């Protein structure tokens, strides 16, 4: 959803950002192709796994483009955070692929390390998006209309919460506790997507006059 306010010309770093997001999605698709399923049911399982990574990248991209359509890239801190975020986006498909390749029964140590790296990568992405969104909600900067401030403060809070949740899942307890032989850590990663979906649905509900 585009921000309902004035736009500014797209600097070159935003064009680079779109390219990196596109490459990340392409790499994720390639990893799906080279990991051939061994059973018919494996096809559905692989598509579901890819769908998770796809939704993560698309959600980050939608939020990023919406924010950057308003947030100026004049400050060095913003530029640096932007570069760090693009690095985290570029390695997301690789880290996610490691979590798919390594299995819990045969490679527990490698899967644990890969899942920790992925959780930290996602925590960094969510935290940077939250910081960008926070900049939009500073009233003195007048980047948003007054009636949108509350909405983007909620978005900022959800992003900070998501970053904290991803970071929290690296705790050993979320690795040792399992559901259906799968560490609890992996189930908790769906929470940010669920929260984001609930927020979007609630905001689309018509208000009663």
What per-residue confidence (pLDDT) applies to 5?
44
For residue 160, pLDDT beyond 80:
yes
Domain interval for residue 160:
12-203
Model confidence at 4, in pLDDT bands (50, 70, 90)?
very low
Structure letter (DSSP) for residue 206: P
- How far apart, in whole angstroms, are the C-alpha atoms of residue 132 and residue 120? 18
For residue 57, pLDDT beyond 80:
yes
* pLDDT tens string 82-103: 899 999 999 998 999 899 888 8
For residue 180, pLDDT beyond 50:
yes
Q: Within a domain: residue 132?
A: yes
Q: Within a domain: residue 115?
A: yes
For residue 1, pLDDT beyond 50:
no
Instruction: Identify the helix (H) or strand (E) that includes residue 50.
Output: helix 40-68
- How far apart, in whole angstroms, are the C-alpha atoms of residue 190 and residue 195? 9
Q: Within a domain: residue 2?
A: no
Alpha helices in the chain (DSSP H): 12-34, 40-68, 76-101, 108-136, 149-168, 173-176, 184-188, 191-204
For residue 31, pLDDT beyond 90:
no
Q: Within a domain: residue 44?
A: yes
* pLDDT tens string 136-146: 888 878 888 88
What per-residue confidence (pLDDT) applies to 54?
87
Residue of 26, 47, 20 whose CA lies nearest to 36:
47
Q: How many domains does the chain have?
A: 1
By the 10 Å C-beta count (0-12 exposed, 13-18 middle, 19+ buried), 127 is classed as buried
For residue 15, pLDDT beyond 60:
yes
Q: Within a domain: residue 209?
A: no
**How many other C-beta atoms can be found within 10 angstroms of the C-beta atom of residue 131?**
18
Q: Within a domain: residue 28?
A: yes
- pLDDT top residue among 105 and 35: 105
For residue 110, pLDDT beyond 90:
yes
Average confidence (pLDDT) over 76-85: 88
């Amino acid at each position: 959803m585009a921000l309902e306010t004035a736009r500014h010309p797209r600097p070159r770093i935003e064009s680079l950002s779109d390219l990196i997001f596109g490459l990340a999605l392409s790499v994720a698709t390639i990893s799906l192709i080279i990991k051939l399923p061994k059973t018919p049911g494996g096809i559905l399982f692989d598509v579901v796994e890819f769908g998770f990574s796809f939704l993560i990248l698309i959600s980050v991209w939608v939020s990023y483009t919406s924010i950057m359509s308003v947030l100026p890239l004049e400050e060095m801190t913003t530029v640096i955070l932007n570069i760090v975020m693009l690095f985290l986006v570029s390695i997301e498909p690789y880290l996610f692929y490691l979590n798919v390749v390594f299995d819990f029964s045969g490679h527990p140590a490698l899967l644990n390390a890969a899942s920790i790296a992925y959780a930290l990568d996602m925590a960094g992405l969510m935290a940077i998006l939250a910081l960008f969104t926070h900049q939009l909600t500073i009233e003195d900067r007048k980047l948003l209309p007054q009636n949108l401030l509350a909405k983007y403060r909620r978005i900022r809070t959800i992003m900070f919460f998501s970053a904290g949740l991803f970071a929290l899942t690296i705790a050993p307890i979320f690795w040792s506790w399992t559901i259906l032989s799968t560490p609890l850590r992996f189930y908790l990663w769906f929470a940010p997507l669920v929260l984001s979906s609930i927020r979007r649905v609630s905001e689309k509900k018509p208000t009663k006059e």
